[in-house]
Amino acid sequence: MYGHPHSSDAGTGLYWGVPRAWPTFSITYDYLIVGAGSAGCVLANRLSASGAFSVALIEAGGSDRHPFIRMPSAFSLPIGSARFDWRFAARAEARLADRALACPRGKVLGGSSSINGMVYVRGNPLDYERWERLGAAGWGYAQVLPYFRRSETALGAAHDDPYRGHDGPLQVSRGERANPLYDAFLEAAEQAGHQLNDDLNGARQEGFGPLEMTVAGGIRCSAARAYLQPARRRKNLTVHTGALAQALLFDGERCTGVRVRRSGSRPGSGHTDLHARREVLLAAGAIGSPQLLQCSGIGPQAALAQAGVDLRADVPEVGANLMDHLEVYLQQGSTPGVSLNRHLSLFGKGLIGARWLLRRDGLGATNHFEVGGFTRSSADQPWPDIQYHFLPAAVSYDGSRAAAGHGFQVHVGPMLSPSRGTLTIRSADTAVPPLLDFNYMSDPQDWQVFRAAIRQARDIFAQSALTPYRTQELAPGETVSSDDALDAFVSAHAESAYHPCGTCRMGSDHRAVVDPQCRVQGVTALRVIDASVFPHITNGNLNGPTIMLAERAADLVLETSLPRDPLPYYTADT
């Protein structure tokens, strides 16, 4: 019935590898899902749950069962590895001192949820009210809240909290805050005039409190672990790993399938055509989904012609509206013996890893971003537009550069930038990375919010709660205080928070790439379901909103829906 192309694990219905050379043949399923990332794993689980439909999940990467992925504190290690990361890079940005910022994306089961920093943030309720105003009908907060709840088991929330989920696949936990710097930072934020908030994912996002993480039992809870692993024994679900989607297949306007080849093989070599009786669902992410659309002839006519691709549907905003978050590290020197810098030697890291391997606890069982917060850059900003991740160490995100001596830091930056970039293919071959032009810092508002963020963070670090631990400011440095000096620091040091989105915008207008049902305009039987459809970037990390989006989109595909829940939420004027 389900047509498995090769033998699979006995009774699992899953195929976890590919032969050395793919033969040329075709096979048919009810639904094809391209991309086993945060959205794709959700879709694979929900669409196969009833057993009524055959589902194939196509992933260019391989297994996620590696200690560097499973161990939370090792999250920086898969980034930059060709085994787990597509290793995209943006074009050099003149406003960022001609630097070309990295854009890592997961190439592994679980996608970017298997290599991200595991910070779980839903976004602000007003983010989704804006989505609806921008034409994403049915995506307001009352509609999305039930899907956030369905997706999660919030281990740190009260069991009767109506805003939080208690029996969903994604386990969301809080750190132990064993290092005294965590509580000192929160106390300093309160001393600086900010409100403490015990649940940044509840009715109120604004304020400072515990940051939640997708970690359960000391192990990363990626979308693959939360959604795909429980579904592996379903006979109606097949997973193709090492399978690079080359092009979408069509019969007239109807999308009928996907042509795949083994990752790394040459164009024109053995391929497999996978067909869909019902629909093809793109969940390849903010980079992969628009790239595959453009390579298949769906996108802006001029860009496709330049890449030698025949036009199938002129959808000019495919690859437009590219958004991301930027951040800088405000680093503070500290007294000896308190920060995590004392553990960053090879010997120290070895001890952390050994304990985690034996007991799944200790410093290896956390992402170390255990507290943070959200503030507004000005009194007239209606909801938070600055995020803070506090880290009791002074070190680069990828772990490659630690400060000399001891220190701690906060990552801060604008969350709701009006700057927009573009993604454009350079070849009809999906193995060739597209051109990414983020157009960072192109709006004056970006600079204003960055200055406000740095000054607010400095004010927190200056409070008496941190006096016993604080020495000199390491970055930007105490002499960097004027607007021009702060702008120069941002230009030289701002980094991506790795949150690309928006390249297949959802809306109700004729220029939107997908409609509010996530259906691609200009063709049929094709949807995009991932962060690329965000009408506007949300306030915070994007993994949680992407999983929510896939949960609700799965119901749209199945023509069902959870009821709205119009619970109240905090706004600045209430």
Residue 5: left (phi > 0), alpha (psi -120 to 50), or beta?
A: alpha
Contact 389, 417 (CB under 8 A): no
Q: What are 57's two structure tokens?
A: 């999940």
Beta-strand ranges (E) seen in 323-406 are 326-334, 371-375, 386-391
State how far Cα 563 lies from the chain centre.
Answer: 26
Q: What are 120's two structure tokens?
A: 């779980």
CB-CB neighbours of 63 under 10 Å: 18
Q: Pick from 229, 208, 211, 212: which is nearest to 171 by CA?
A: 212
State how far Cα 430 lies from the chain centre.
Answer: 21
Catalytic residue chosen out of the listed positions 368, 411, 499, 536: 499
DSSP codes joined into one string, 168-196: -SEEEEE----SHHHHHHHHHHHHTTPPB
Tokens 């094809």, residue located = 32
How many Cα atoms are found within 13 Å in the side-chain-facing hemisphere of 255? 31
The C-alpha atoms of residue 352 and residue 370 are separated, in whole angstroms, by 17
3-state secondary structure of 567: coil
| Angle (nearest 5°) at CA 57 between 56 and 62 | 135
Name the amino acid, one letter, at 525. Answer: A
Is the link from the previous residue into 476 a cis peptide, with omega within 30 of 0?
yes
Q: What are 189's two structure tokens?
A: 């934020």
State how far Cα 93 lies from the chain centre.
Answer: 22
The C-alpha atoms of residue 82 and residue 556 are separated, in whole angstroms, by 35
The C-alpha atoms of residue 169 and residue 68 are separated, in whole angstroms, by 22
Does 499 qualify as catalytic in the annotation?
yes
Q: Pick from 437, 416, 417: which is nearest to 93 by CA?
A: 437
What is each CA distance from 187 to 121, 369, 459, in whole angstroms? Answer: 22, 16, 12
Q: What is the set of active-site residues? A: 499
